[in-house]
Amino acid sequence: MDYALGNMVVHIHWVIAKPPLPGWEDIRQTVTGHTFYYIYSGKGVFHCEGEEVEVAANTLVYLWPGLPLYMKSSEAHPVRMTMILFDCALLEKPEEGWGIPQPINRLNLPFLLPLPSDRIARIGEQFREAEQEWVPGDTVRETRVKAVWYRLLQEAHEAAEAGGRDRAEEEITVAVRKLKATLDTEFAKELRITELAEETGFSAVYIRRAFAARYGSSPKEYLDQLRNEHAIRRLRFAGDSITDVARACGYPDVYQFSKTFKKRNGCSPSEYRNA
C-alpha cells in the first residue's frame, strides 16, 4: 500500500529493552503487528523465512505482520537492543469528513537496515527515548512514545532511501530537501525560485527536475499550492481580512491573491469564506 507519513496513525503495543546477556535466544511471539528492533551493540544471528542473517550494532530491523523470527545473541558479544511493537494505518480526512482507517500491511522498509553514520546517534536516541517514556496503560506517556515513533519512522525512510543512492544523488537529495524546507517556512516572503535553486550549487533546471521527481511538482507549483492551502485555512478558521490573508500567505496584493485563488478554487476568497 502506498502511504504518506503525515496521514498515518499508530498504536503502540509494547516497548521493551533486551539486556545484553551472553547467548540469549528468543522467538518473535507476536506476528500480527509490526516490530522495530534497534541493535545498539553486540552481534547475533537472526533466522527468518529459512534464511540465517548475521546482525550487528547500529542496525534497524523491521518485521512486518506475519513474519516469524528466531534470534540468537553472540556469547562473546551479546546483543543489546530495544523493541517497539506497533500497528499502523492510513487515515485521511477529505472535505466530506473522516475516512475509514486502512491498515498498512507492510512499510516501505527493508528487513535489515544498516544505518549510515549520520543517523546512528539520532535513531539510537529515539529508541532510548521510547524505552524511557514507555509506561503501559499511561495514555500521556504512550502519546509521547507515539511522537517518538513518527520521528523515528521519518528517519528510517530517509535512511532506507539514502542507502540506494551514490554520493552525487545524496547531495542533490539534500539540496532539494533544503529548498523545500525554505519554501515551507518562508512562503509568506517574496521568494525567487530561480535564485533559491541556484543557491544550492546546482543548476536551476536540474534542481527543478529533481524537486519534481521527489515531490510531484515543480518548486513554483509547490509554493503556489502551499500558499493556497494556508489561505484556505485562514479564510475558514480565522477572522482576518482578505487583505491580511493575502499578505500572510505571500501574495503581493489583494488583486493578485483573488485572481490566483479563484483560478485554483473556482470561487473568490470572499465567496469561499461565505460558502
Ranges of each domain in the chain: 5-163, 166-275
Question: Could you tell me the CATH superfamily of domain 166-275?
Answer: Homeodomain-like (1.10.10.60)
138-153 tens-digit pLDDT: 999 999 999 999 999 9
Q: Quick one: pLDDT at residue 167?
A: 55
Q: Quick one: pLDDT at residue 31?
A: 80
* Least confident residue range of 39-48, 95-104, 260-269: 95-104
Q: How confident is the model at residue 164 (pLDDT cuts 50, 70, 90)?
A: low
Q: Quick one: pLDDT at residue 92?
A: 85
Average pLDDT of the chain? 88
Surface-to-core class of residue 253, CB atoms within 10 Å of its CB (0-12 exposed, 13-18 middle, 19+ buried): exposed
Residue count of the chain? 275
* Least confident residue range of 50-59, 162-171, 206-215: 162-171
State the cell numbers at 4.
504518506
State the cell numbers at 41.
551493540
If you ran DSSP here, which 8-state letter would residue 5 be given?
G
Cβ neighbours of 118 (radius 10 Å): 9
- 208-234: b (≥16 Cβ within 10 Å) or e: bebbeeebeeebeebbbebbbebbbeb
Q: Quick one: pLDDT at residue 95?
A: 75
* Least confident residue range of 50-54, 142-146, 222-226: 50-54
Closest of 68, 36, 70, 42 to residue 55, by C-alpha? 42
pLDDT over threshold 80, residue 242: yes
Could you tell me whether strands 59-63 and 70-73 are parallel, antiparallel, or unpaired per DSSP bridges?
Answer: unpaired
Q: Look up the pTM and report it.
A: 0.70
- 35 phi/psi in degrees, rounded to 5: -140, 135
Residue 155 in contact with residue 122, Cβ under 8 Å? yes
Percent of the chain with pLDDT over 90: 53
Residue 46 in contact with residue 71, Cβ under 8 Å? yes
pLDDT over threshold 60, residue 166: no
Domain 5-163, second-level architecture: Sandwich (2.60)
How large is the average pLDDT for residues 41-54?
Answer: 88
Instruction: Find the angle CA(178)-CA(154)-CA(183) to the nearest 5 degrees.
Output: 25
pLDDT over threshold 70, residue 165: no
pLDDT over threshold 60, residue 90: yes
Q: Quick one: pLDDT at residue 200?
A: 78
pLDDT over threshold 60, residue 106: yes
How large is the average pLDDT for residues 211-222?
Answer: 88
Alpha helices in 199-268 (DSSP H): 204-215, 219-237, 242-248, 254-265
Diameter over CA atoms, the chain: 73
Task: Tell which wins on pLDDT, 249 or 198.
Answer: 249
How large is the average pLDDT for residues 87-108?
Answer: 88
Q: Quick one: pLDDT at residue 143?
A: 94
* Displacement of CA 143 from its chain's centroid (Å): 17
E runs forming strands in the chain? 8-18, 25-27, 34-41, 43-48, 51-56, 59-63, 70-73, 80-90, 102-103, 112-114
